Structure 1
Amino acid sequence: MRFIHTADWHIGQTINGWTREAEHRAFLAGLPDLVAETGADALIVAGDVFDGINPSNDSLRLYYDALATLNARHPRLTTVIVAGNHDSAGRLQAPDVLLRRFGVHVVAGVHRIDGRLDLDRHLVPLPAADGGVGAHVLAIPFLRPGDLPGLAFDDGADGSPVVAATRRLYGEAVAAARERIGAAPLIATGHLHCLGALESEGAERRIVVGGEHAVPADIFPADVAYVALGHLHRAQGVGRDTVRYAGSPFPLSATELPYRHAVTVVDVDPDGAVRWVERPLARPVPCLRLPETGALKPADLAAAVAALGLDPALPREVQPLVHVVLAPDGPLAGVVVEAERLLEAHPLRCAGIRIERPAAATEGRAPETKALRLSDWRPEDLFARAFETRNGVPPGPEHREAFRRLLVAE
């Protein structure tokens, strides 16, 4: 049997205030064609369907329209969706009873009966081309502390209690599945960070459970044919060859601009042998960096934008998203404002402006070693400090006013 592994859609994401709806719409509209072209029997979505726990009505509509279209085009397709750390487990799980009528199985939390994993909810049979069962999916979502059996931080045991508890959960889940399906091919899902995998700086929210950021890839029992992972946005393997992240469908941050974005198409033989191939995804909207490497002098920004040859007839929602990196050779004041003004005059969407401090500004400066006590600082002072560290200039009155409004809203 064959399935498509994808993850980290982040429907509803914005970047510097710009919606990504056109990109999500194009990706989701292409899924039925991808299923047809590959002849896939199933689709596995390994978490972070949405970008936040309260997706907008437009985001929900986009998601449900995509599932409905998949079912209409491919009534035999089985879709398995697990929750990620960005998803609301309750919201994602709520329509599960209805979605199952369309071949969609959603697992957003860990379900147990008398302390044992409820396999009727977590173990999903996948169809083979001949109409039989080609494999089973052990659907495990993002794990919260309450999901980890026997998690204790003061038991005196050597090693990480989080790693031990996560390993125990997967071990017990696989053992229970084996009692039901015997030696048949088993696929597991996970939404977590495995040690050794490359993360995207500034893009992926660090999952911290009890102080732990990542777990080793060997927590997955060796007799699992394939592990479909989500959370990290770079398509990559970790540990053994069949433990893989599908990655996000398009760049979600400046860090991801060099990535190859893809879904993974996986074949599973009756004996559990696995073959996979990455299926590259075209970017529905150009995502660019000016310059491609290094930093521009502010005086060179206009020429760099002109060299892009932008099409003024493009609708706003599909104009290129451009990340700009500047290295001022003079005073920093006003640099960002002037750059924003220049960019607004062109058919592009500014995805962010980063200031690289001149080397001379930091030469000879001793590193700060004094610890900060939060009780000694006002929230606005911390905001100003973070803003200047990030942008190289202090916040203006408009930035401070926006922060105050957010503070009151909280």
Structure 2
Amino acid sequence: MLTLLHTADWHLGAQLQGWPREAEHRKVLRALVAIAAERRVDAVIVAGDIFDSLNPSAEAQKLLYDTLKELRAALPAATIVLLAGNHDPAGRIEAPRALFDLVNVAGVGAIARKDGEIDADVHLVPLRGAGGAIEAHLLAVPYPRAADLPVLEGESEGSPVVRSVCALYGELIAAARARIGASPLVVTGHLHVAGGLESEGAERRILVGGEHAVPPDVFPPDVAYVALGHLHRPQAIGRESIRYSGSLFPLSKTEIDYRHGVSIVTIREAATMVEHVPLPRPTACLRIPPRGGMRRQDVESAFAALALDPATPADEKPFVHLTIAAEGPIVGLDAEIDAIAEKFPIRLASLTVERPQRAETEAPAPAALRLSERQPVELFCEAFALTHRAEPTAEHLTLFHSAAMEE
């Protein structure tokens, strides 16, 4: 029997509207180590996007190494595998390889070849059970960068990039099977598999071309488990054994409702069982109001209703995503809301303005004229009305003409 902890998308060094997330990362990674120790896992797989930036800060790198140290202290015999994602500097994942080898950590940042063929010595990692025997192998596949993809001859339907990624996985899996035969195989991936639900605004479409997702059948049915990274929502794709573990905590407003956690995978001969284990949310992330928008004059009372302790430490203040319902001008709204937020122990993470939907019976917009046929004041009035859903006042027009005179 073999027990794995699958995690991904740590995004160490990430910020939210300028607010650092390091304190949250430290808390949640300590919880992850505790889960790994409690479940006595035989391996920990981090399926990409360990860092948030291709040039991670010294603090972000130190946090990674601190976590590896804690994992090794809690699980002296466990295998730890780090895969590069599209956010990661592949070279920095691989550079410590000589030191990683001493402590049974594998770091794979790019596809490795020897004499043109897949280097199985790099990509195939033995996974040992509690007794020390090899129970399965891990095919460690990082984010496939353009230089990693094979060039395919001839023409075919669909995205050539997707076809190249599928061909790359076919080559990798064939190389693994040539080495281990029919033994249990775990495969990793940092990419978008078709059918996966994205987080709006949080994840890049990382395969170029008209199609950006590979089909789930790129992973053959004889693969025991597929540990995926990139999508932040925990989810299975196609079958329960193809899974995104998701991110550690909400990295954007769209992720507030996710059940963030890790995947605990048990492989016993031909059977694979997967359990999603939630992680405690290190900092509250609030959407105010929960749905829709609120009037600007109600914001202060809504913040007061949270009844937060004024002595809340800075790195424990909840993140607030505020939506204002507005029909007229919103001039000065940002400054007004910032001034209100400063009175409370919160961190304003986003401010969205929600406007009423246009009625379907409204007349269509007039045909566009050439710019040379328009007066600047006409363009100003139209832009103001479009933005604020109200006509500019005499004071607005006076300010516009005054600014125009200065040009």
Question: Normalised by the shorter chain, which TM-score bucket?
Answer: 0.7 to 0.9
Which structure 2 residues correspond to residues 106-117 of structure 1 after superposition, within 5 A? 106-117=107-118
Contact 1:31–1:70, Cα closer than 8 Å, also in 2: no
3-state SS of 1:332 partner: coil
Partner letter of residue 183 of structure 1? A
Contact 1:81–1:106, Cα closer than 8 Å, also in 2: yes
Contact 1:184–1:272, Cα closer than 8 Å, also in 2: no
Q: CA deviation at 1:73?
A: 2.2
Partner of 2:60: 59
Alignment pair present for 1:208 and 2:169: no
The count of aligned residue pairs is: 372
Partner letter of residue 300 of structure 1? D
Structure 1 unpaired stretches of 5+: 371-384, 393-410
Query: What are the Cα deviations for residues 178-197 of structure 1, in whole angstroms up to 9, with x where unaligned?
Result: 11111111000000011111
Which structure 2 residues correspond to residues 7-406 of structure 1 after superposition, within 5 A? 7-151=8-152, 155-269=154-268, 271-359=269-357, 364=362, 366=364
Contact 2:199–2:231, Cα closer than 8 Å, also in 1: yes
Contact 2:248–2:261, Cα closer than 8 Å, also in 1: yes
Q: Distance in 1 between matches of 2:360 and 2:248?
A: 38
Q: CA deviation at 1:318?
A: 1.2
Q: Distance in 1 between matches of 2:367 and 2:136?
A: 55
Q: Distance in 1 between matches of 2:188 and 2:114?
A: 20
Contact 1:170–1:221, Cα closer than 8 Å, also in 2: no
Q: CA deviation at 1:298?
A: 0.6
Q: Distance in 2 between matches of 1:87 and 1:101?
A: 23
Q: CA deviation at 1:31?
A: 2.6
Q: Distance in 1 between matches of 2:22 and 2:359?
A: 40
Partner of 2:399: none
Q: Distance in 2 between matches of 1:217 and 1:45?
A: 20
Partner letter of residue 273 of structure 2? R
Distance 1:236 1:123, change over 3 A: same
Q: Distance in 2 between matches of 1:230 and 1:146?
A: 20
Q: CA deviation at 1:102?
A: 1.4
Contact 2:6–2:265, Cα closer than 8 Å, also in 1: yes
Q: CA deviation at 1:210?
A: 3.6
Query: What are the Cα deviations for residues 33-72 of structure 1, in whole angstroms up to 9, with x where unaligned?
Result: 1111111110000000000101111111111111112112
- The CA RMSD over aligned residues, in Å, is 2.2
Contact 1:82–1:108, Cα closer than 8 Å, also in 2: yes
Q: Distance in 2 between matches of 1:51 and 1:76?
A: 29
Q: Distance in 1 between matches of 2:29 and 2:86?
A: 21
Q: Distance in 1 between matches of 2:223 and 2:16?
A: 37
Q: Distance in 1 between matches of 2:25 and 2:39?
A: 21
Partner letter of residue 351 of structure 1? A
Query: What are the Cα deviations for residues 228-250 of structure 1, in whole angstroms up to 9, with x where unaligned?
Result: 00000000011122110000010
Q: Distance in 1 between matches of 2:103 and 2:65?
A: 11
Partner letter of residue 332 of structure 1? I
Q: Distance in 2 between matches of 1:240 and 1:119?
A: 27
Q: Which has the higher Rg, Structure 1 or Structure 2?
A: 2
Contact 2:6–2:45, Cα closer than 8 Å, also in 1: yes
Q: CA deviation at 1:156?
A: 2.2
Partner letter of residue 182 of structure 2? A
3-state SS of 1:359 partner: coil
Partner letter of residue 177 of structure 2? R
Partner letter of residue 316 of structure 1? A
Partner letter of residue 58 of structure 2? N
Q: Distance in 2 between matches of 1:366 and 1:66?
A: 58
Query: What are the Cα deviations for residues 71-106 of structure 1, in whole angstroms up to 9, with x where unaligned?
Result: 122210111111000001112211122112112101
Q: CA deviation at 1:121?
A: 0.5
Contact 2:142–2:189, Cα closer than 8 Å, also in 1: yes
Contact 1:328–1:335, Cα closer than 8 Å, also in 2: no
3-state SS of 2:28 partner: helix
3-state SS of 1:218 partner: helix
Distance 1:105 1:366, change over 3 A: farther
Contact 1:145–1:151, Cα closer than 8 Å, also in 2: no
Q: CA deviation at 1:214?
A: 1.2
Q: CA deviation at 1:340?
A: 1.4
Q: Distance in 2 between matches of 1:368 and 1:351?
A: 38
Q: Distance in 1 between matches of 2:168 and 2:189?
A: 12
Partner letter of residue 219 of structure 2? F
Q: Distance in 2 between matches of 1:26 and 1:321?
A: 16
Q: CA deviation at 1:362?
A: 9.6
Contact 2:47–2:188, Cα closer than 8 Å, also in 1: yes
3-state SS of 2:321 partner: strand
Q: Which runs of 4+ in 1 moved over 4 A?
A: 360-363, 365-370
Partner letter of residue 4 of structure 1? L
Distance 1:31 1:298, change over 3 A: same
Q: Distance in 2 between matches of 1:166 and 1:369?
A: 46
Q: Distance in 2 between matches of 1:365 and 1:142?
A: 49
